[in-house]
């Protein structure tokens, strides 16, 4: 039988073992939520669970590869052993592949469409009874790439999936609001995650790094990249904002207003 917590709140976070997902899970734990982390790597999940458990919160983990077609149903079945109510579902897992139109492949498109759009929809569907039980909320992680293009970085296929998750967010907010479930999204600007550091910044020369920093100062009214904690704070707000639904919250240092 599922555990029943009279006062406890459960948050499910996909991609919760590292990066943005881990920061969001950490902030929700600090706010008093028990956690169910979903990610591929058992080792990273165990490490994250140890780290987050220091807040005194209960941390459950589900190891699953969301690129598989059966993953949403498998994850929901695992979570059902823990709880029959979910207060917050954070659809954080996603992938990005930037390519020109001429170089975009069907495989790239299909992978991004599946992880960035279908998986959030299917997980929301699988968890709907538990979300209804809690009168909970869904938080989708989108991106500024739905609204702002960057010269020299070709993003048609990726941007299309981010526009789709924004539309999905608004449509589900309209559908599920009368049943007490809120649906919102966060659209981050560029965030200085470990992946950003290792994949993007680390290979740069000193001159390229200087040019990068100057570009950030010009592009962002607040003059800096985001931190994972900036996004996590927005997730905590949306998780508790009882009269906010259908919102695509730009947490981007002002990038998309220029």
Q: How many CA atoms lie within 13 A of 36 on its CB side?
A: 25
Sign of the dihedral through C-alpha 27, 236, 134, 247? negative
158 is catalytic: yes
In the set 144, 158, 196, 237, the catalytic residue is 158
- Count CB neighbours of 105 within 10 A: 11
**According to DSSP H, which parts of 127-205 are helical?**
128-134, 156-176, 194-195
d(CA 183, CA 168): 9
Element (H, E) at 13: strand 9-14
CA distances from 80 to 8, 45, 46, 90, 125 (A): 16, 19, 20, 17, 14
Can you tell me the distance from the alpha carbon of 133 to that of 197, in angstroms, rounded to the nearest whole number? 40
- Rounded to whole angstroms, the Cα distance separating 52 from 131 reads 23
How is residue 248 written in tokens? Answer: 């695509």
User: Do residues 187 and 250 lie in contact, with contact meaning Cβ atoms separated by under 8 Å?
Assistant: yes
CB neighbour list of residue 203: distance below 8 Å, 6 or more residues apart: none
Pairwise CA distance, residues 136 & 128, whole Å:
9
Catalytically active residues are 158
């Amino acid at each position: 039988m599922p555990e029943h917590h009279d006062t406890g709140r459960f948050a499910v976070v996909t991609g919760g073992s590292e990066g943005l997902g881990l920061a969001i899970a950490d902030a929700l734990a600090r706010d008093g939520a028990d956690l169910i982390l979903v990610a591929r790597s058992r080792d990273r999940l165990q490490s994250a669970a140890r780290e987050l458990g220091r807040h005194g919160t209960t941390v459950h983990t589900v190891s699953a590869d969301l690129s598989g077609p059966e993953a949403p149903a498998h994850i929901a079945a695992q979570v059902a052993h823990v709880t029959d109510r979910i207060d917050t579902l954070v659809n954080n897992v996603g992938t990005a592949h930037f390519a020109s139109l001429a170089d975009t492949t069907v495989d790239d498109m299909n992978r991004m469409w599946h992880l960035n759009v279908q998986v959030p929809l299917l997980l929301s569907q699988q968890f709907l009874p538990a979300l209804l039980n809690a009168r909970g909320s869904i938080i989708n992680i989108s991106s500024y790439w739905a609204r702002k293009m960057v010269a020299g970085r070709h993003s048609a296929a990726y941007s299309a999936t981010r526009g789709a998750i924004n539309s999905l967010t608004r449509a589900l907010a309209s559908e599920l609001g009368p049943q007490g479930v809120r649906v919102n999204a966060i659209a981050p600007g560029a965030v200085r995650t470990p992946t950003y550091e290792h994949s993007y910044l680390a290979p740069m020369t000193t001159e390229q790094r200087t040019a990068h920093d100057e570009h950030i100062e010009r592009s962002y009214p607040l003059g800096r990249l985001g931190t994972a904690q900036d996004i996590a704070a927005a997730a905590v707000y949306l998780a508790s904002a009882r009269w906010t639904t259908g919102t695509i919250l730009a947490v981007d240092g002002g990038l998309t207003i220029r």
